[in-house]
Amino acid sequence: MFREAYDMNPASPYGADFPQGTALKVLVAEDDPSLRMILGKLLGEVVTLRLAEDGLDAWQQFEASPPDLLVTDWMMPGMDGLDLCRRVKMASNFCYVILMTAKDALDDKVDALEGGADEYLVKPVDPRELFARIRAGARIVAAHRKLTDESRSDKLTGLGNRRAFDEALASEAARSERSGRPFCLLIGDVNDFKCVNDTYGHAVGDEVLAAIGQALAQTVRKGDTAYRLGGDEFAVILPDCPEQGGRECLGRLTKAVESFRASAICAPVGMSLGVAVFEPGLATTLDSLIKLADERMYQAKRCARKPA
């Protein structure tokens, strides 16, 4: 059906009503060059598309940059579509899989679905059905993104939460080991925050935390990420950053926080921060990195309490 439909009208707008703004990343694995070209023409204008010439090529592309949705043929040399599907589903990344094949026996459909395929299309595939399946997949991907974002976001500050921090820190450490470049971790908390809550109430305390989250997010470099770990404790991950750069960032963040004034508080709100550097190749554990940044934060807090 692909060839016939494309030959009759190569500009046929099967994706004309495809939801705009979805930024859907699609990977197509098809070993037939002509079908791969047609799929590229049909899908290329409505999704962010990559093409793979077989299952192994698709798997390598998936490992390098996981897509949101995979459209794969079943019968391919090297690694077939079902093996590809199983590998994709075993990976931690969420990916919606549409398996296409000329196999139409019930046992084949059951094998495909039990192998992890989310949709099963029998060739020849009508482009209208393919787009309908992709649109359905896009809705599921969007719902998954929303749930994922909500599970990793701190509602009060809009920053990443502890779960997001743990995942990002592990990812950054792995990336640092691969690249050979260090990164810095900042950990800090609000000075005398209990006194703020006790004196002015929790509504003002929430205002302070939200404003500090905004100050951190606006002050860090592009590519740096800030998190609320819980209570009045915050963290910032600084990729590709030596210790001196981390100390400079610490100074900027301290000033940014001190410039904030809560509506009910006349005095500036202070924040103590500590910095630790992850040097690749030194077998530094993430627990020890967090502990060091925490210790330096408490050192800064003790210094802030000393009388002038």
Q: What is the pLDDT of residue 127?
A: 85
What's the mean pLDDT in 146-158? Answer: 86
More confident residue, 17 or 303: 303
pLDDT tens by residue, 161-196: 999 999 999 999 999 999 999 999 999 999 888 888
How far is residue 13's CA from residue 4's CA, in Å, rounded to a whole number? Answer: 15
More confident residue, 18 or 65: 65
Active site residue 240: no
Q: What is the pLDDT of residue 12?
A: 45
> Does residue 6 have a pLDDT over 50?
no
Domain boundaries 2-151, corresponding CATH code:
3.40.50.2300
Domain boundaries 162-305, corresponding CATH code:
3.30.70.270
Q: What is the pLDDT of residue 147?
A: 84
> Does residue 44 have a pLDDT over 60?
yes
Banded model confidence at residue 308, pLDDT cuts 50, 70, 90: very low
Q: What is the pLDDT of residue 20?
A: 47
How far is residue 217's CA from residue 5's CA, in Å, rounded to a whole number? Answer: 50
More confident residue, 3 or 212: 212
> Does residue 73 have a pLDDT over 70?
yes
> Does residue 201 have a pLDDT over 50?
yes
Angle between helices 243-258 and 202-219 (to 10 degrees): 140
Q: How far is CA 109 from the centre of its chain?
A: 32
Q: Which of 107, 232, 287, 294 is catalytic?
A: 232
What's the mean pLDDT in 232-261? Answer: 91
How far is residue 4's CA from residue 213's CA, in Å, rounded to a whole number? Answer: 56
Fold agreement between 2-151 and 162-305: no
State the average pLDDT for the chain: 86
How is the chain split into domains, by residue range?
Answer: 2-151, 162-305
pLDDT tens by residue, 75-120: 998 899 999 999 999 886 689 999 998 888 898 889 888 888 999 9
Q: What is the pLDDT of residue 306?
A: 58
pLDDT tens by residue, 287-298: 999 999 999 999
Q: Cα–Cα distances in Å, from 89 out to 145, 146, 224, 271?
A: 17, 20, 30, 44
In contact, 161 and 168? CB cutoff 8 Å: no
pLDDT tens by residue, 232-242: 999 999 999 99
Q: What is the pLDDT of residue 285?
A: 92
Name the helix (H) or strand (E) containing 228.
strand 225-230
